[in-house]
Amino acid sequence: MYQLIKKHLFALDPEVAHERTLSALKLADKVAGGKAFLRMMYRIDDARLHCHVWGIHFPNPVGLAAGFDKNAEVYHALAAIGFGFIEVGTVTPVGQPGNEKPRLFRSVQDQAVINRMGFNNHGAAEVAKHLASYRQTGIPIGINIGKNKVTANEDAAGDYEKCLDALYSYGHYFVINVSSPNTPNLRDLQETDNLRRLLRAIRTKASELEKNGAEPKPVLLKVAPDMAKEHMRDVVQVAVAEGISGIIATNTTLSREGLKAKDFAEQTGGLSGRPLTKRSTEWIRNIYRFVDGQVPIIGVGGIFTGDDAYEKIRAGASLVQVYTGMIFEGPGIVKAINKRLLELMKRDGFTNITQAVGVDARK
């Protein structure tokens, strides 16, 4: 069925197609029986896929990456599709329109997407209103936060603190996004001294909120794939030393290596999809070794199949996320990945998916 819909969606501008997909999910959320139909079609519940990470229960390890549901508008429909968790955002303190259009491009030939969206979102206060109705849910929600484009890097900590103030009671975990290539100079915050100051400020703000009665929340760092190995090691070691609870590896890349569609390759922005599959898996393996398994990793980048997801889990990812893969494979991707994970676990003699985490990285 998705192949028929896909022909229509792929005939549209990619951002228009995304907006229509969101509209369809909103409709499924409102129509009587809509979510029940989605659960019947797509959801798998198998105890062998259950995960407990940071003390949070995940019904399966396959989540939706940030960028799809920027404003937390279609959580219930996405949960019905079978995701084990949903990450919303990136959210900034003040709503902003993002970069000029067109800013989203796809290549069927490369099975890839380039975006230069620029953190377009409605702002923390508006997102908080949407999240307020999701608090009593069984599917964990991550909240990805960033700084506004007009905020100088030396003032960036204040933006992340404002997001925590507005959203802390609503998320199961939070993600510090300093790795998007589409906000000018944002990646400079990954330099170790800048990162250390930022993470200390964020940790201090979280501690203040917890002293005032808020439940402690894991805070993760999302990293870019375009660093030298030594720099990545320094970044993740600083993050762990400053109390970060986990790493998301990786964000989109600026590399255009191996792309076949020339006009597509010339677009500026972050590349995601199939060209990132092996590169992100290798970073997961390296990061797992850098931190000696001390903190969980969420693996993201070019996951289209259960084999892709399993490779990342064996490399060290406790959880995985999809986005571009869903654009090309449709909503059935979650069910397909989870079914294949069960087959691969059985092949390898694992009774729970957590037993596969890091087995290749430890070799």
Asked if 77 contacts 28 with a C-beta cutoff of 8 angstroms, the reply is yes
CA angle, residues 62, 16, 88, in degrees to nearest 5: 35
Q: What is the mean pLDDT of residues 253-267?
A: 96
Q: What is the pLDDT of residues 174-198, one digit of tens each?
A: 999 999 999 989 999 999 999 999 9
Q: Which domains does the chain have, with CATH numbers?
A: 2-356 (3.20.20.70)
- The total of other beta-carbon atoms located within 10 Å of residue 187's CB is 18
Active site amino acids: 180
Closest CA to 27 of 38, 17, 16: 38
Is pLDDT at 321 greater than 60 in this prediction? yes
User: Residue range 116-128: average pLDDT?
Assistant: 97
Asked if 92 contacts 123 with a C-beta cutoff of 8 angstroms, the reply is yes
Task: State the pLDDT at residue 2.
Answer: 79
Greater confidence, 1 or 170?
170
Closest CA to 59 of 38, 35, 83, 81: 83
The pLDDT of residue 4? 82
Give the pLDDT confidence of 125-164 residue by residue, as tens digits.
999 999 988 755 679 999 999 999 999 999 999 999 999 9
Query: What share of the chain has pLDDT > 90, as a percent?
Result: 93
Q: Please tell me the predicted confidence (pLDDT) of residue 136.
A: 56
In this structure, are residues 172 and 215 in contact, taking their beta carbons and an 8 Å threshold? no
The answer to whether 303 and 349 are in contact (CB under 8 A) is no
Residue with tokens 């439940």: 215
Closest CA to 130 of 219, 29, 213: 29
User: What pLDDT was estimated at residue 137?
Assistant: 62
Tokens of 115: 């975006």
Mean pLDDT score of the chain: 95
Give residue 235's pLDDT band: very low, low, confident or very high (50, 70, 90).
Answer: very high
Q: Alpha-carbon distance 351 to 342, whole Å? A: 9
